[in-house]
């Protein structure tokens, strides 16, 4: 009888225990933390305050990661992008990759984001007349743990599937086709950031301003 009660307890509580062990909370960043990627692109923590982390993205970082900005403020608890920063001007962040980080993370977690924006090109947003504002969507899913090797070393990381696309649109009198691409991020708790981004080949062929990247070195202050 006692054994049956014990087994019943395991069935009820083991899934929650396993989930708790797999759950990854948001890392704590410090001023001066810096990640260097292929192509000598860097991301660095410039400032930490009660409102979040001010992150500086170098021009060498893939334009889709920067979304046209060099400074972005990240929320401390979820690491979602909360504001863009241009000089002293802070603007609410609502565009692409707003919640590419959405802590806590665990295998199987899924979330979405939708926004409207003009197409993002190599030198930022194209604002020429006639270029339409598109309705974009993002679908993100944590697939599970992998051991992955990059130039900075070997790491245990969560593999995250990222799907981005937009609906059909009209430019002048002509319809534009819907578009979707899929790729992957790998997040390592030990590194406190992504160690790799890989686009599917179709996306690379279609959009010359994007490229695969991986971590080459890092410095963590604490």
The domains of the chain, with CATH numbers, are: 33-219 (2.40.360)
* pLDDT band of 13, cuts 50, 70, 90: very low
Token output for 217: 């070195």
Mean of all residue pLDDT scores within the chain: 86
Per-residue CA distances from 16 to 11, 114, 143 (Å): 10, 31, 18
d(CA 67, CA 209): 12
Rg (CA), the chain: 20
Query: What is the predicted pLDDT for the residue at 133?
Result: 86
Query: What is the predicted pLDDT for the residue at 130?
Result: 62
The 10s digit of each residue's pLDDT in 84-126 is 999 889 999 999 999 999 999 999 999 999 999 988 765 544 4
Degrees to nearest 5, angle at CA 97 with 191 and 138: 120
99, 87, 24, 100: which is closest to 54 by C-alpha? 87
Pick the residue with more confidence: 222 or 196?
196
Per-residue CA distances from 118 to 45, 73, 96, 99, 142 (Å): 28, 21, 11, 19, 28
Query: What is the predicted pLDDT for the residue at 79?
Result: 98
Of 85-94, 146-155, 204-213, give the lowest mean pLDDT range. 204-213
Query: What is the predicted pLDDT for the residue at 173?
Result: 65
The 10s digit of each residue's pLDDT in 128-139 is 456 788 999 999
State the sign of the Cα–Cα–Cα–Cα dihedral 210, 216, 221, 222.
positive
Query: What is the predicted pLDDT for the residue at 210?
Result: 79
Answer for the pair 3, 10: CB distance below 8 angstroms, yes or no: no
Please state the pTM of the whole predicted model.
Answer: 0.84
Residue 156 DSSP symbol:
E
State the sign of the Cα–Cα–Cα–Cα dihedral 189, 193, 196, 202.
positive
Task: Please check the confidence at residue 194 and state whether its pLDDT lies above 60.
Answer: yes
d(CA 221, CA 160): 26
In whole angstroms, what separates CA 202 from the centre of its chain?
20
């Amino acid at each position: 009888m006692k054994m049956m009660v014990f087994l019943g307890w395991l069935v009820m509580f083991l899934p929650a225990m396993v989930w708790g062990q797999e759950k990854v909370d948001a890392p704590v960043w410090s001023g001066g933390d810096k990640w260097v990627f292929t192509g000598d692109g860097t991301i660095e923590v410039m400032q930490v305050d009660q409102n979040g982390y001010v992150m500086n993205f170098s021009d060498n970082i893939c334009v889709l990661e920067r979304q046209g900005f060099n400074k972005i403020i990240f929320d401390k608890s979820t690491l979602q992008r909360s504001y863009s920063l241009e000089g002293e001007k802070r603007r609410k962040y609502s565009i692409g990759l707003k919640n590419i980080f959405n802590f806590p993370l665990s295998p199987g977690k899924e979330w979405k984001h939708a926004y409207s924006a003009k197409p993002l090109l190599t030198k930022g947003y194209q604002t020429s007349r006639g270029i339409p504002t598109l309705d974009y969507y993002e679908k993100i899913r944590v697939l599970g743990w992998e051991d992955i090797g990059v130039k900075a070393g070997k790491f245990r990381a969560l593999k995250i599937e990222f799907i981005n696309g937009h609906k059909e649109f009209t430019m002048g009198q002509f319809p534009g086709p819907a578009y979707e691409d899929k790729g992957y991020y790998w997040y390592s708790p030990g590194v406190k950031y992504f160690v790799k981004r890989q686009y599917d080949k179709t996306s690379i062929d279609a959009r010359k301003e994007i490229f695969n990247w991986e971590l080459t070195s890092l410095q963590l202050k604490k």
